[in-house]
Structure 1
Amino acid sequence: MDEKLIKKEVLHQGKGNTDYADGTKISFHIKTETCDEEPKIIDDSRQWKEPAELLLGKKFKLEALEACIRTMASGEVAAFTIDKVLLAPYPLVSKTLRDAYSKNKINKEKKPHHCCGMGFKEGLGYPDLDELVKTPKDLKFTIEIMKVARAGSYEKEFWAMSEEERINSIPALKEEGNSLYKVGDHEGASKKYSEALGRLEQLMLREKPGDEEWLKFNDMKMPLLLNYSQCQILQGEFYSAIEHCSTVLEKQPDNVKALYRRGRAYVEVFSPTEARRDLEKAAKLDASIAHSCRSLLSRLAKMEAEKNSQDKTAYSKLFTSS
């Protein structure tokens, strides 16, 4: 920490050492204000949904702030006055923190913005930050360290993982989902499968469609989509199940599980033609599920008969004289 450009005042002593290794996760509250005679508060994390978090050594955009936090022990409260020459990135960092943690997010559609190098063509969407870009100032940061999680003691966020860790996290999430499903926690299982699918989508965005890695990731998606669709059916989310099974069937038209589950969902939303098509095909492809398919088709026939009867009754009432 450059003591000529950063002045520290300890307001409350913390406990423990500060020899933080890279990868340590720090949870902290921060209040930023100008150094004017009448200070103006720019940010106050106590007005946000939760404290901010910083992963040390991961190229945080505001190096001066990370340097300050590295000097603080758990539970410590300190005020840092930082020279404006070190604060050029602060408006963008503040915007990022507000977007992530603020309870009252701005409507981004009404306030478009984008960055170009270190300049901001259309502003950041926050007038006070736009003013700070135009007129840099020394700022005072009051920081309280809420929690310190040493490297290796917590589950890494996906963005902080190495490529190998990201790929390995997906089957791990699938197994967690399977375990939750076995004990009847279909909602919890659904969340695990959904998270794994989201991670796969992020990995696939980095690959060219059709290339070897992209195809490998796409193959990994299929069982996750099937597991997720089963959970959706059990939670009554039938249209979601239909959508995800359809994604599988686009790649694997004869996938029996996808046909059966989509057919079952079609029964539940009363789409007789589609249900009959999927269930009859599934029964032909796999004799072991033929009985289950026939049971659903029998139920579908009863639903159709009831619907026809109701329609006939309603139609006849139209011509019944009062």
Structure 2
Amino acid sequence: ADAAFTLESAEGIKKTILHGGTGDIPRFIAGTKVTFHFRTQLCDDERTVIDDSKAVGTPMEVVLGNMFKLDIWETLLASMRIGEVAEFWCDTIHTGVYPLVSKSMRRIAEGKDPVEWQVHTCGMANMFAYHSLGYDDLDQLMKEPQPLYFVLELLRVQQPSEYSRESWALSDEERLKVVPVLHGQGNKLFKQGHYQEATQKYKEALICIKNVQTKEKAWDVPWLKLEKMANTLTLNYCQCLLRMEEYYEVIEHMTDIVNQHPGMAKAYYLRGKAHKEVWNEAEARQDFTKVLDLDPGMKKAVKKELAVLGMRMEEKNQEDKNKYKGIWPPPPAPPPGTPPSRRARSPGTT
């Protein structure tokens, strides 16, 4: 039978079970991944639908304890069984940030900012930064907050150990623990020649580091430690790009590093290799010279690269000569008896 009651853990909520679920209420702990459908309705006579995940065709996923902007949903879901469908009336104190969450979810459905709604920011603070959310119905809700109905259908509950969490679903501590694992996986893939797969591991590790680093004060010791880790991963990432012949991207990434850290010999070395591959002789020589200034221990590697560069440039110059050879027609033969001073000269001769 349908049951209506107020959740004990929160005021301003009334729950009505529309379809009973099965089994006991699952364990809902930090890190639990919850998959569910939702429908949001106004409390008017028509029960006007604002959002409906079934209409979009994709259920919602939330990782508990990951600072999802509409934290009241965590409370609602924690009262449900698998397969249960329930309607929750929520007072204005719980629905003030819904317009922001709705905007993010609509953008996800449109293929934009796929993890925007997981950003670790305070929804209420962000509300004041917006003049318009880009949707008339949400702008109206933001101006005049009101109670809402949420109809939720709980599809699946996965404990932290039961699924592979993406980097956005990790805490800062977990992110730092997973970095060396991803780094090692990337190195292994690189040695096996799987460069594309290796870049994905390095990129994921870099995202983890940068997410944590943004919370540190720039150039302080914790920030610098993370920066060193990030630079090492970027160097590895660019080693893959060199093998994949993505030379201009290597030049771009290494230039970013040397601008911030002008003492990194390996960054100049990789940029020099990339310049060499795209025939930028002067830039390559300049970078290799800088490497020798910063790290004389790399003399053997640099000498080898310079030798290859010299050989390549000789070949290119010879190719150019052959290419342009005969571009000017030979001068016509002078008529018999023409004095030497009046003979035709080749173009470009004096």
Is TM > 0.5 for Structure 1 vs Structure 2? yes
Does residue 268 (structure 1) correspond to residue 277 (structure 2)? The answer is yes
Cα distance, 1:157 vs structure 2: 4.8
Aligned partner of 2:18 among 10, 17, 37 = 10
Does residue 88 (structure 1) correspond to residue 96 (structure 2)? The answer is yes
Cα distance, 1:48 vs structure 2: 4.4
Structure 2 counterparts to residues 63-212 of structure 1, below 5 A = 63-99=71-107, 101-103=108-110, 116=125, 122-158=131-167, 161-212=170-221
Distance 2:321 2:236 in 1: 35
Please give the secondary structure, in 2, of the residue aligned with 1:213. helix
Equivalent pair of 2:100/2:127 in contact (CA under 8 Å): no
Residues 5 and 315 of structure 1, relative CA distance in 2, 3 Å threshold: same
**Unaligned residue ranges in structure 1 (runs of 5+):** 107-113
Equivalent pair of 1:233/1:265 in contact (CA under 8 Å): yes
Residues 254 and 204 of structure 1, relative CA distance in 2, 3 Å threshold: closer
Aligned partner of 1:301 among 292, 310, 314 = 314
Distance 2:129 2:285 in 1: 57
Cα distance, 1:184 vs structure 2: 1.8
Aligned partner of 2:247 among 220, 231, 238 = 238
Structure 2 counterparts to residues 254-265 of structure 1, below 5 A = 255=265, 257-265=266-274
Deviations, residues 188-220 of structure 1 (Å, cap 9, x unaligned): 111221222233333333333332122222222
Equivalent pair of 1:260/1:293 in contact (CA under 8 Å): no
- Equivalence for 2:28: 20
Equivalent pair of 2:167/2:207 in contact (CA under 8 Å): no
Comparing 23-32 and 164-173, the one that deviates more = 164-173
Comparing 59-68 and 177-186, the one that deviates more = 59-68
Distance 2:175 2:45 in 1: 49
Equivalent pair of 1:48/1:103 in contact (CA under 8 Å): no
Equivalent pair of 1:280/1:293 in contact (CA under 8 Å): no
Total equivalences in the alignment: 308
Q: Indicate the structure (1 or 2) with the bigger Cα radius of gyration.
A: 2
Equivalent pair of 2:242/2:274 in contact (CA under 8 Å): yes
Residues 276 and 48 of structure 1, relative CA distance in 2, 3 Å threshold: farther
Equivalent pair of 2:195/2:240 in contact (CA under 8 Å): yes
| Alignment TM-score, normalising by the size of structure 2 | 0.74
Distance 2:72 2:220 in 1: 42
Please give the secondary structure, in 1, of the residue aligned with 2:35. strand
Please give the secondary structure, in 1, of the residue aligned with 2:132. coil
**Unaligned residue ranges in structure 2 (runs of 5+):** 114-122, 332-350
Amino acid at match of 1:286: M
- Equivalence for 1:291: 304
Superposed CA RMSD in Å reads: 3.3
Distance 2:250 2:220 in 1: 28
Equivalent pair of 1:11/1:79 in contact (CA under 8 Å): no
Equivalent pair of 1:31/1:143 in contact (CA under 8 Å): yes
| Alignment TM-score, normalising by the size of structure 1 | 0.80
Distance 2:289 2:70 in 1: 61
Amino acid at match of 1:166: R
Please give the secondary structure, in 2, of the residue aligned with 1:286. helix
Deviations, residues 260-295 of structure 1 (Å, cap 9, x unaligned): 432221122221211233346658753442335423
Please give the secondary structure, in 1, of the residue aligned with 2:287. helix
Residues 247 and 92 of structure 1, relative CA distance in 2, 3 Å threshold: closer
Distance 2:308 2:179 in 1: 35
Residues 168 and 94 of structure 1, relative CA distance in 2, 3 Å threshold: same
- Equivalence for 1:109: none
Identity of aligned residues (%): 34
